[in-house]
Amino acid sequence: MTSLERHNLRLGLLFVSPWILGFLVFTLYPVAASIFFSFCDYDVLSAPVWVGGMNYRDMLTDQVFWKSLYNTLFFSVLALPLGLILALLLAILLNQPVRCRGAFRAIFFLPSLVPMVAGAMVWLWILNGKLGLLNQFLATLGMQHPPQWLSDPIWTKPSLVLMGLWGVGNTVVIYLASLQDVPQSLYEAAEIDGASAWTRLRHVTLPMISPVIYFNLIMGIIGTLQTFASAYVMFNGGGPNRSALFYAVYLYQNAFEFRQMGYACAMAWLLFLLILGLTWLATRLTQKHVFYST
């Protein structure tokens, strides 16, 4: 390494040092500390006391932990495919050459700009069992007993899914960008070969945007398993029979309301491992179906 290169390296390191410092102090240290705390009885206010694997063992017998995990997985299984499919359909529609296409795109993107808490407050009214817009609409369709979205344990998770679907604008934009990247020549060739619209979608569009679908799938797995704000605002404490108590909400309760930070750290690490495992699984399962043109 020449003296100029060494000088440049020093300067470069100095320039990135604020980020490195921030990363070490605000990310790496808390993450490393949380591993240690997960093996401790720690209430934040007193010094942590080493308890070995007690927090992890407690999780095995903690019924609320299992319920929160079940709720989260149930929600993810419902919300993730629905969100991906709806976003893709909307993106395909918004990619069609129609009048006011820009306006439509803006309209579908707008909800994702609404802050989560504000959106949740609005949805509390939309989903109100008696006066809510949704049930009023269902009543006009002749439904005698529309669902009690917020007070019936069966409907609390679907109501959150519904709310989540309202905010698919971000995913739509990502799909749109990828749809516009699909070479027109492929469509033209397919058309010449007599491919129908469905065949073109199935054999041209989907393979060409498969890396983006894969990306959205991975981000979706991470996002849905960490769902917090909407569930916390709409069902403070988990809703009826803890039917909307999500993993992240229970983790928060343990950390900041019950002051069981050690237990919360153990939960956080388990969630990390769960997400890691599912991401790996999704990668393995989709490996053969993701097409990278390069």
Partner 1 sequence: MKSLRLVLLVLACLFCGAGCGQRVDERTPDGRVIVSYWEKWTGFELDAMQGVVDDFNRSQPRIEVRLLPVSPIDVKIMLATAGGNPPDLAGLWSFSVPDFAEKGALTPISSALRRTGITREQFIPLFWDLCGYRGFQWAVPVAPASLALHYNRALFREAGLDPDKPPQSIAELEALNEKLTLVDVTRTGQVMRLAYCQLTPEERQARKFALVRVGHLPQEPGSFLDLMGAWFGGSLSDSKGRITADAPGNLAAFRWFRDTTQKYGVENLRNFGASGGGLASAQNPFLCGRVAMELQGVWMHNFIEKYAPDLDWGVAPFPAADPVAGKDTTLVESDVLVIPRGARHAEEAFEFMAYLCRRGPAEKLAVGQHKFTALRDVSPDFYARHPNPHIREFVRLANSPQARAVPRLSIWREYQEELRVAAGNALWLVTPPEVALAQVQQRVAWRWERAQARWDRVAEKREKEWQQRDLP
Q: Which is nearer to partner 1, 144 or 294 (CB)?
A: 144
Give the gyration radius of the chain's Cα atoms. 24
Q: Which of residues 116-145 bind partner 1 (CB under 8 A)?
A: 128-132, 145
CB within 8 Å of 241: residues ≥ 6 apart: 153
Rule CB under 8 A: say whether 29 interacts with partner 1. Answer: no
260: helix, strand or coil? coil
Q: Which of residues 258-277 bind partner 1 (CB under 8 A)?
A: 258-259
Rule CB under 8 A: say whether 24 interacts with partner 1. Answer: no
Q: With CB under 8 A as the contact rule, which of the stretches 7-15, 82-90, 161-169, 184-192 interacts with partner 1?
A: 7-15
Rule CB under 8 A: say whether 19 interacts with partner 1. Answer: no
Nearest to 53 by CA among 272, 292, 270, 253: 270
Q: Which is nearer to partner 1, 205 or 253 (CB)?
A: 253
Choice from 48, 95, 238, 246 touching partner 1 (CB under 8 A): 238
Measured from the CB of residue 48, what is the shortest distance to partner 1 in angstroms?
Answer: 11
Q: How many residues bind partner 1 (CB under 8 A)?
A: 35
Distance of alpha carbon 48 from its chain centroid, rounded? Answer: 32
Long-range CB contacts (within 8 A, 24+) of 41-49: 41/262, 42/261, 42/262, 42/265, 43/259, 43/260, 43/261, 43/262, 44/259, 44/261, 45/259, 48/262
Rule CB under 8 A: say whether 11 interacts with partner 1. Answer: yes
